[in-house]
Amino acid sequence: MNENKKIISIYDTTLRDGAQTVGISFSLQDKIKIAQVLDRLKVDYIEGGWPGSNPKDDLFFKEIRKSGLQHSKIASFGSTKRPNVSLKDDILLQSLVSSKSDTLTIVAKTWDFQVTHALNIELNDNFILIYDTVAYLKDLGFEVILDAEHFYDGFKSNPDYTLKCLMKGKEAGADMIVLCDTNGGTMPNDVENITKTIVNELGCKIGVHFHNDTGLAVANSQYAVISGAVSVQGTMNGYGERCGNCDLTTLIPNLVLKMGYECSAKNQLNYLTEASRFVSEIANLAHNERVPYVGDNSFAHKGGIHISAIRKDSRTYEHINPEIVGNSRKITISELSGKSTIEIKSEELGINLLEKDHLKKNILEKIKTLEDQGFHFESAEGSLELLIREATGEYEPFFKLKGFRVISEMNESEMLECEGTIKVEVNGKIEHTAANGQGPVDALDNALRKALIKFYPEISQIHLTDYKVRVLDEKAGTAASVRVIIDQKIGTEHWGTMGVSTNIIDASWQALVDGIEYMLFKKYSGKNKKGTV
């Protein structure tokens, strides 16, 4: 393999393509924070948005110049000039120039169907738009990347026309031409054959941009790289319109660790998991815990045989050391666990139970009893750790419940109002408070925090990120037990806790209390466990 082909540039479009994900709305500060994370990850290009399309993107390109990025180039995205409008009179094109970005990325139609049906112009007129736009921006001194929209569909439909579109971009001086699978429907064998053809025909730098509508965006990107592409566009966590884009958190380690390619992010792989989680939080979306490399379950082990083998040599059931990508191994405990699993999990928590078989037996019996009642510790590591540490005598509750009451009332406007009243004891002192909430659980949570915050101010930093309810025996109808699992976080640290009861408020209370107790234990472990008043 040519050594030049082994260096791959990474082009991130989370702030533009990723922002088109349903449920995502980045603020200006969100975009700047994500750009700083990507710069630390040593992503080569950060596409910031489309200047002129909205005020927020215009502000981003002004503010990002003040942020002191150390590695990444900022790219502005735009389109070829409009038909029948001069280059200097095209407002969007001039906004692109005014962004003063390092790189300007121009999207061009390269599928004849799109040219005649979307642009409503003659096929030859599209050549003029491509050439004139690229040449104009190159004359102004910009690095110009040409995104060939719908390239793979266009090539399969009319390869001669599509190739001529790319040639016009090359003739005008484009620094790189990016082949886009805009509809995300191309198969890897076609990607390989078509990309090879273009690399050989054009003889210039080729990048690729894949959408994930068939679940193949990462695989297609890898086939394109094997076929000679030297740059890949994608997004953090695979965010993007419809089914998303190529997920850089999977692609980057695949290229570096599995395929032997070089990229700048190689030296920052141990930051990958943290960066992935940070972007999830900014996007306000639950992190995908089953995703390769950066998920909580990426290196999780449950089966006893697996756990035993992992203890001898992690290579038995792990394809890489999780620390390489900034992740960690997770041993999960369930009713299938044995004493050796308890021992390994305890070691993970820094607890030595090697010579304490009676304690391991007691912990295991308690776990099996609770799981028989409906508890599920795989998803509630916080509750599990409290259980083990309570059995070893390391943990005692930070507060005692004296009682609570939740009232739900429909007002005259047919709005449901909820109020929670709670009485707790901390260090011998009684605190009695009340608070409103969006629902009974929210009211109870607000009242509990209000009661404890004077004793433990850190509680104000906790954010509830997920709340799940599962009916355990649907045949029991409204009398069925429910399992409530709550995820909470402070910054990038997150933990899960749970409760089980025939009463959903009681189950929620158990999970809420465990979540706060877990945070307090972590905060005060080895210090004054009772905090200060």
Inter-CA distances, 49 with 52, 106, 513, Å: 9, 12, 43
Q: Is the distance from CB of 236 to CB of 12 less than 8 angstroms?
A: yes
**What does the H/E/C string look like for 452-470?**
HCCCCHHHHHCEEEEEEEE
For residues 257 and 358, membership in a common domain is answered with no
Q: Would 141 be classed as within a structural domain? A: yes
Number of domains in the chain: 4
Q: 341-345, 428-432, 474-478: which has the minimum mean pLDDT? A: 474-478
Tell me, yes or no, whether 444 and 467 share the same domain.
no
Please state, in angstroms and rounded to a whole number, the distance separating the CA atoms of residues 124 and 121. Answer: 8
Q: Answer yes or no: is pLDDT of 518 > 90.
A: yes
Per-residue model confidence as pLDDT tens digits over 398-447:
999 999 999 988 877 778 889 999 999 999 999 999 999 988 889 999 99
Lowest mean pLDDT among 57-66, 196-205, 492-501, 524-533: 524-533
pLDDT of residue 2: 42
Lowest-pLDDT choice from 36-50, 140-154, 330-344, 423-437: 330-344
- Asked, for residue 330, whether it belongs to a domain, the answer is yes
Q: What is the pLDDT of residue 306?
A: 66
Q: Is 67 helix (H, G, I), strand (E, B) or coil?
A: coil
pLDDT in tens, 298-337: 988 765 566 667 666 778 878 999 999 999 887 776 555 5
Residue 310 lies in a domain: yes
Ordered DSSP codes for 370-414: HHHHT--GGG-HHHHHHHHHHHTT----S-EEEEEEEEEEE-TTS
At 159, the pLDDT band (50, 70, 90 cuts) reads very high
Residue 4 has pLDDT above 70, yes or no: no
Q: Determine contact, residues 241/230, Cβ cutoff 8 Å.
A: no
* Residue pointed to by tokens 């509990």: 448
pLDDT value of position 521: 93
Q: What is the pLDDT of residue 526?
A: 47
Q: Are residues 319 and 195 in the same domain?
A: no
Looking at the structure, do residues 81 and 217 belong to the same domain, yes or no? Answer: yes
Confidence of residue 533 (pLDDT cuts 50, 70, 90): very low
Residue 530 — very low, low, confident or very high, per pLDDT cuts 50/70/90? very low
Give pLDDT, residue 472.
Answer: 79
**What integer is the mean pLDDT of 508-530?**
81
In a domain? residue 34:
no
pLDDT tens figures, 160-215: 999 999 999 999 999 999 999 999 999 999 999 999 999 999 999 999 999 999 99
pLDDT exceeds cutoff 50 at 527: no
State the CB neighbour count (10 A cutoff) for residue 487: 22
- Model pLDDT, residue 478: 57
Q: Give the angle 279-280-285 at the CA atoms, nearest 5°.
A: 145
Q: Is residue 33 part of a domain?
A: no
Report the percentage of the chain scoring pLDDT > 90.
68
pLDDT at 308: 63
Q: Confirm whether 275 is domain-assigned.
A: no
Average pLDDT of the residues of the chain: 90
* Minimum mean pLDDT range among 94-103, 322-331, 510-519: 322-331
Q: What is the pLDDT, as a whole number, of residue 307?
A: 63
* Residue 212 and residue 80 share a domain: yes
Reported as a pLDDT band with limits 50, 70 and 90, residue 531 is very low
Q: Which domain holds residue 307?
A: 300-373
| pLDDT range class, residue 532, cuts 50, 70, 90 | very low
Q: CA 291, CA 298: separation in Å to the nearest integer?
A: 7
The reported pTM is: 0.74
Percentage of residues in the chain having pLDDT higher than 70: 92
Lowest-pLDDT choice from 43-47, 231-235, 291-295, 437-441: 437-441
Least confident segment among 55-69, 82-96, 288-302, 323-337: 323-337
Indicate if 467 and 425 belong to the same structural domain: no
Q: Are residues 305 and 158 in the same domain?
A: no
Average pLDDT over residues 8-27: 96
Q: Higher model confidence: residue 44 or residue 372?
A: 44
**Chain centroid to CA 352:** 35
Taking the C-alpha atoms of residue 111 and residue 103, their distance in angstroms, rounded to an integer, is 24
pLDDT at 364: 83
Position 334 scores a pLDDT of: 58
Same-domain status, 513 and 431: no
Would residue 210 count as lying in a domain?
yes
- What tens digit of pLDDT does each residue of 121-142 get? 999 999 999 999 999 999 999 9
Q: Are residues 241 and 306 in the same domain?
A: no
Residue 30 domain flag? no
**149 plus 130 within the same structural domain:** yes
Average pLDDT score over residue span 450-461: 93
Could you tell me which of 150, 19, 160, 161 has the C-alpha nearest to residue 77?
Answer: 19
Question: Does position 157 have pLDDT exceeding 90, yes or no?
Answer: yes
What tokens appear for 274 in the block? Answer: 């943290």
CB-CB contact of 472 with 481 (8 Å): yes
Which of 250, 268, 286 finishes a domain?
A: 268
94 and 179 share a domain? yes
Say how far apart CA 207 and CA 228 lie, in whole Å.
9
Residue 500: beta bridge partners?
Answer: 483
Residue 1, pLDDT score: 39
User: For residue 343, what pLDDT band results from cuts at 50, 70 and 90?
Assistant: confident
Decide which of 525 and 290 is more confident.
Answer: 290
352 with 232, same domain: the answer is no
What CATH number is attached to the domain comprising 246?
A: 3.20.20.70
CATH number at residue 525: 3.30.160.340
- Mean pLDDT, residues 235-242: 98
| 52 pLDDT more than 50 | yes
